[in-house]
Amino acid sequence: MAGSGAAVQQIERDDVPPSFTADHIDLFAAIDPAEIAMMSELVGQPYTVRRRQIIRREGELVDGFFFLHRGWVASSSLLDDGGRQITKVHLAGEMMGTPSIAVVKAADTLIALTPAVVSRIPLSALGRLFRDMPRLAGVLFLHAQMERIALADRMASVGHSGAESRLAALFLHLRDRQRLTDPTVGNEYRLPLTQEDMADMLGLTAVHVNRTIRALEQRGVIARKNRWLQLIDIDALGNLARMPQREPVRTPDWLPPPATTRPMTPAAAA
Amino acid sequence: MAGSGAAVQQIERDDVPPSFTADHIDLFAAIDPAEIAMMSELVGQPYTVRRRQIIRREGELVDGFFFLHRGWVASSSLLDDGGRQITKVHLAGEMMGTPSIAVVKAADTLIALTPAVVSRIPLSALGRLFRDMPRLAGVLFLHAQMERIALADRMASVGHSGAESRLAALFLHLRDRQRLTDPTVGNEYRLPLTQEDMADMLGLTAVHVNRTIRALEQRGVIARKNRWLQLIDIDALGNLARMPQREPVRTPDWLPPPATTRPMTPAAAA
DNA sequence: CGTAAGATTGACAAGCGTCAAATACAGTGG
DNA sequence: CCACTGTATTTGACGCTTGTCAATCTTACG
CA distances from residue B213 to B5, B131, B233 in whole angstroms, order as listed? 39, 49, 14
Farthest-apart Cα atoms in chain B, separation: 60
Q: To 10 degrees, the CA torsion angle through A230, A234, A239, A242?
A: 80
Quote the CA–CA distance of A196 and A208 in Å, as a whole number. 10
Quote the CA–CA distance of A173 and A175 in Å, as a whole number. 5
Mean pLDDT of A116-141: 93
**pLDDT level of residue A226 (50, 70, 90 thresholds):** confident
**In the structure, how far is the CA atom of residue B52 from the C1' atom of nucleotide C4, in angstroms?**
15
More confident residue, A137 or B1: A137
Quote the CA–CA distance of A192 and A178 in Å, as a whole number. 13
Above 90 in pLDDT, residue B130? yes
**Structure confidence at residue B179 (pLDDT):** 92
Q: Lowest-confidence range among B16-30, B61-75, B215-229, B234-248? A: B16-30
Q: Lowest-confidence range among A53-67, B28-42, B216-230? A: B28-42
**pLDDT level of residue B168 (50, 70, 90 thresholds):** very high
Above 60 in pLDDT, residue A233? yes
Q: Give the burial class of B196: count Cβ atoms within 10 A of its Cβ; 0-12 exposed, 13-18 middle, 19 or more buried.
A: middle
Above 80 in pLDDT, residue B5? no
Q: To 10 degrees, the CA torsion angle through A180, A51, A165, B110?
A: -60
Quote the CA–CA distance of A251 and A139 in Å, as a whole number. 9
pLDDT tens-digit profile of A236-247? Answer: 999 999 999 999
CB of A156 nearer than 7 A to strand D: no
Above 60 in pLDDT, residue B186? yes
A229: how many CB neighbours lie within 10 A of its CB?
A: 19
Handedness of CA B150, B154, B157, B160 (dihedral sign): negative
Mean pLDDT of B62-70: 95
Quote the CA–CA distance of B198 and B157 in Å, as a whole number. 14
Length of chain B: 270
Above 70 in pLDDT, residue B270? no
Contact call for B247 and A103, based on CB within 8 A: yes
User: Nearest CA of chain B to the CA of A218: how many Å?
Assistant: 26
Please, how many CA atoms are within 13 Å of residue A128, restricted to the half-sphere of its CB? 12
Mean pLDDT of B3-8: 36
Share of chain B above pLDDT 70, in %: 89
**pLDDT level of residue A163 (50, 70, 90 thresholds):** very high
- Residue from A138, A134, A126 nearest A261 by CA: A134
**pLDDT level of residue B259 (50, 70, 90 thresholds):** low
Above 90 in pLDDT, residue A14? no
- The B 143-182 residues near strand D by Cβ under 7 Å are 162-164
**In the structure, how far is the CA atom of residue A195 from the C1' atom of nucleotide C24, in angstroms?**
15
Quote the CA–CA distance of B38 and B110 in Å, as a whole number. 25
Mean pLDDT of B208-228: 94
Please, how many CA atoms are within 13 Å of residue B52, restricted to the half-sphere of its CB? 2
Share of chain B above pLDDT 90, in %: 73
Contact call for B248 and A79, based on CB within 8 A: no
Sheet-wide strand order for B222-225: B188-190, B228-231, B222-225
Q: Count of A–B CB contacts within 8 Å?
A: 199
More confident residue, A88 or A10: A88
CB of A211 nearer than 7 A to strand D: yes
Residue of B35, B124, B149 to mutate, testing the A interface (most A Cβ within 10 Å of its Cβ): B149
**Structure confidence at residue A17 (pLDDT):** 54
Which runs of consecutive H residues, i.e. helices, occur in A54-184?
A: 123-132, 134-160, 163-181
Above 50 in pLDDT, residue A103? yes
Mean pLDDT of all residues belonging to chain B: 88
**In the structure, how far is the CA atom of residue A210 from the C1' atom of nucleotide C18, in angstroms?**
15
Q: At what angle do helices A134-160 and B134-160 cross, to 10 degrees?
A: 10
- Residue from B106, B101, B58 nearest B78 by CA: B58
Mean pLDDT of A132-158: 96
Contact call for B247 and A144, based on CB within 8 A: no
Share of chain A above pLDDT 70, in %: 89
Nucleotide nearest to A224 (CA to C1'): D9
pLDDT tens-digit profile of A164-190? Answer: 999 999 999 999 999 988 899 999 999
- Residue from A129, A132, A131, A136 nearest A22 by CA: A136
**pLDDT level of residue B39 (50, 70, 90 thresholds):** confident
Above 60 in pLDDT, residue A212? yes
- Residue from A191, A155, A227, A23 nearest B155 by CA: A155
Farthest-apart Cα atoms in chain A, separation: 61
Radius of gyration of chain A (CA): 20
Contact call for A102 and B145, based on CB within 8 A: yes
Above 90 in pLDDT, residue B32? no
Q: At a CB cut-off of 8 Å and minimum separation 6, what does B1 contact?
A: none
Residues A221 and A232: beta-carbon distance below 8 Å:
yes
Above 90 in pLDDT, residue A3? no
- Nucleotides of chain C within 7 Å of a protein C-beta? 6-11, 15-20, 26
User: Residue A181 is which amino acid?
Assistant: T
User: Nearest CA of chain A to the CA of B171: how many Å?
Assistant: 18
CB contacts of B135 in chain A (<8 Å) are: 130
**Structure confidence at residue A260 (pLDDT):** 58
User: E strand or H helix at B159, and its extent?
Assistant: helix B134-160
b vs e for B34-45, b when ≥16 Cβ sit within 10 Å of the residue's Cβ? Answer: ebbebbeebbee
Length of chain A: 270
Nucleotide nearest to B211 (CA to C1'): C8
Residues A230 and A215: beta-carbon distance below 8 Å:
no
Mean pLDDT of B188-203: 96
**In the structure, how far is the CA atom of residue B93 from the C1' atom of nucleotide D28, in angstroms?**
28
More confident residue, B44 or B147: B147
**Structure confidence at residue A270 (pLDDT):** 36
**pLDDT level of residue B23 (50, 70, 90 thresholds):** confident
**Structure confidence at residue A18 (pLDDT):** 60
Nucleotide nearest to B202 (CA to C1'): D18
**In the structure, how far is the CA atom of residue B211 from the C1' atom of nucleotide C10, in angstroms?**
12
B162: how many CB neighbours lie within 10 A of its CB?
A: 11
Q: At a CB cut-off of 8 Å and minimum separation 6, what does A116 contact?
A: A48, A49, A55, A68, A69, A70, A71, A72, A73
Residue of B80, B90, B143, B201 to mutate, testing the A interface (most A Cβ within 10 Å of its Cβ): B80
Residue of B132, B160, B201, B251 to mutate, testing the A interface (most A Cβ within 10 Å of its Cβ): B160
Q: Lowest-confidence range among A20-29, A124-133, B106-115? A: A20-29
Q: To 10 degrees, the CA torsion angle through B136, B140, B141, B143?
A: 140
